[in-house]
Structure formats: structure tokens, C-alpha cells
Amino acid sequence: MSRILFFARSSKYTIGLPQGFRELGCPVYVLRDLDKNSIKEAVDYFRPDLLITTGWAYRRYKRKYIDQLVEKVAKYRIKHVYWATEDPRWTEACSFQCIEIFKPDGVLTIHPESIGKYQRLGIHAGHLDFGCNPEFNKQEPLSSHYAYDVALVGNGGKEWNSYRKDSVQILLKPLVERGYNIAIWGKRWERFNEELMGFKIPRYMIKGELPYEETNKVYNSAKIIIGLQNDQEMLTSRTFEVLGSGGFLLTVPTKAVNNLFINKVHLVSSSSPEDTVNLTNYYLKDGFARQVVAQNGQREVYVNHTYKERAKQILKFVYLG
């Protein structure tokens, strides 16, 4: 069984995919900090068969230690996969930089249409969605601290030049303007560009950053979770996490959403601001209907979209091509 070295610092990553490999029986070493001693312990002593890097890894650590890690990986001929979780918006600024620095054997991207960008560079590439970890994304008792009618967990945009802008205007704007009981957690909302987005968010709705470890409590405590999408062709990590928690997800009907989930069965999709208001009113009143959809969504991701399934996909990509 392959020994997995997982290089990441954020709990968003370390709580997810490593657990999937453990469930397959793979020994896993999570490397969060990078220095001479940690590299020696993770590579020389643990002796992994496969290294997985992800996200903005090259910006989190000193370059000399990154180079040491890359050298040792090459020395021991450890296979290396880079998971491009910042595609497609940050492909050039993030993913291409990581490829140049880390020199992986292959790339898995969350954005299917970006596969060709890597293949044109002569890099073995494929698609890998986010997933859920049933050990973390699960039902738990309601927390009064997070008990709102509607909640959104996610960062505000800087320039709002992706489909995320459309998501906000379809899902969030009509509810904010009508004064629903909403809580918003994440970065940059206090600097929300009202002129660009066409509406104002009252300060009392903005709750600030939320530790990743607390997200599941929100999904279990708010009646409706707004799920923004960034692109027609890919799904956010929170899509799978909210469903895995047993939360009720209100999102938009992108191609990616429709490919994997059934509207009003696993989740609910809104195509317009008017639709959002109507759906929100209906599901706030009908708790049973809300529960049925949430349970269906959880069942679907537990069967098809856990990190155990993602770990299987990675091993197949690495060893079977």
C-alpha cells in the first residue's frame, strides 16, 4: 500500500484528503511546517511513495526549504502529484508557479477545462473534484451561536470578475435587500464593493473570518446555506462539505452542479433573484421538505464524493495513467 506524504498547512486540506487515504489503509504523513528537521522526518524517515502538494504551497514557506524538499523527492524517486485547487482564475499566478518550483510528475485540477493547459506543457493531467470527509462533514447538534435562517460561508471577492459575482447577485443580493435573518462569514466582506455589486450589506450581517473547524457547526445550525459557485465548469469545496454535513444547500444551476446533483432532490438551485426569494420562503416554512433534500444530498455525497473516493482516483491516476 502506498505511503502518502501530504504537504499542506490549511485545515481545509489537512482534514479532508489525508483521511481518504487513511481509509484506504495508506500510511499518511501530513507535513504542515517546512524546515530541515521536518523534511528529514517526512522524507528520510517516513519514506513516502507519493507526495501530494496543493494550492498556493510555494507562497507559504521559505524557498530554500522548498528546494530541499524537491531535491529529496527527486533523490528517492518519489512520485509527486500537484492538486491545482486554484484553477481556473489563478492558473498562471499559482498553479504554473507551483509546477515550475515543485516539478510534479502530474497535475490534477478541479477545473476540467484547464486539463489541456497542462497537457500542452507536456504534463500528465486529469480532473479531481473536492469532496467531503464523513468523519468531519457530518450531522451534529445545533449551535445557537450559528442558528440563522440563512448563512453564507465563503470569502468576498476582490475584483468580482468571475461567475462568483453572478452567484452573489442571484443568491445573496435579494435576501440582503429584503432583510432576511442572514449571517455571512469569510474574508473581505467588510470591504464589499457596493458600487460594483449594486447593493449594500449591513454590517450586522458580516461576522468576520471563521475557523475551518467551525464550518460544520454553521452547516448544521442555519436553516439554509447559500453556496456560491465560481465557475460554470467546476464546484467549490463547500458544495460537497455542506451536503456532507447534512445541511440544506441553496446554490445556482451551473453545468457542474447539474452534472452531479439533481435540483430539489440533493440540493436546490436558483436561477434568478426572484427565484431565490420564492425558494427561500418556501423552504424556511417547510422544515420537512428541507430535511428531505438535506438527507438526500448527504446520502449522495457519502456514496460518490467522499475523500476516500478521491484518494482512489489519485492512485488510479498515478499508477494506471
Range 54-75 burial, b when 16+ CB lie within 10 A, else e: bbbbbeeeeeeebebbbebbee
Is 90 exceeded by the pLDDT of residue 6?
A: yes
Q: Model's pTM, two decimal places?
A: 0.96
Is 90 exceeded by the pLDDT of residue 100?
A: yes
Task: Please name each of the domains of the chain with its CATH number.
Answer: 4-131+306-320 (3.40.50.2000), 144-304 (3.40.50.2000)
Query: What is the H or E stretch that residue 245 is in?
Result: helix 237-245
Is 90 exceeded by the pLDDT of residue 1?
A: no
Q: What is the DSSP letter of 93?
A: I
Per-residue model confidence (pLDDT) at position 297: 98
Per-residue model confidence (pLDDT) at position 23: 98
Per-residue model confidence (pLDDT) at position 57: 76
Query: Could you tell me if 246 and 236 are in contact, meaning their C-beta atoms sit under 8 angstroms apart?
Result: no
What CA–CA distance (Å, rounded) separates 269 from 276? 8
Strands 150-153 and 249-251: unpaired
**Residue linked to cell 469569510:** 186
Q: Is 313 exposed, middle or buried (CB count within 10 Å of its CB: 0-12, 13-18, 19+)?
A: middle
Is 90 exceeded by the pLDDT of residue 25?
A: yes
- How many CB atoms sit inside 10 A of residue 92's CB? 10
Per-residue model confidence (pLDDT) at position 59: 79
User: How do residues 130-160 score in pLDDT, each as one tens digit?
Assistant: 999 999 999 999 999 999 999 999 999 888 9
Cis before 88 (ω within 30): yes
Query: Could you tell me if 228 and 254 are in contact, meaning their C-beta atoms sit under 8 angstroms apart?
Result: no
Mean local confidence (pLDDT), 65-71: 95
Nearest to residue 130, comparing CAs of 311, 321, 319, 315?
311
Mean local confidence (pLDDT), 58-81: 93
Strands 224-226 and 206-208: unpaired
Mean local confidence (pLDDT), 52-72: 90
User: How do residues 225-269 score in pLDDT, each as one tens digit?
Assistant: 999 999 999 999 999 999 999 999 999 999 999 999 999 999 999
Mean local confidence (pLDDT), 28-47: 96
Is 80 exceeded by the pLDDT of residue 173?
A: yes
User: How do residues 199-230 score in pLDDT, each as one tens digit?
Assistant: 999 999 999 999 999 999 999 999 999 999 99
**Residue linked to cell 453564507:** 152
What CA–CA distance (Å, rounded) separates 128 from 235? 10
- How many CB atoms sit inside 10 A of residue 199's CB? 13
Query: Could you tell me if 101 and 58 are in contact, meaning their C-beta atoms sit under 8 angstroms apart?
Result: yes
What CA–CA distance (Å, rounded) separates 227 from 295? 17
If you write DSSP's letter for every residue of 147-191 in order, what string do you get? --SEEEESPPPSS--SHHHHHIIIIIHHHHHTT--EEEESSSGGG
Mean local confidence (pLDDT), 193-200: 95
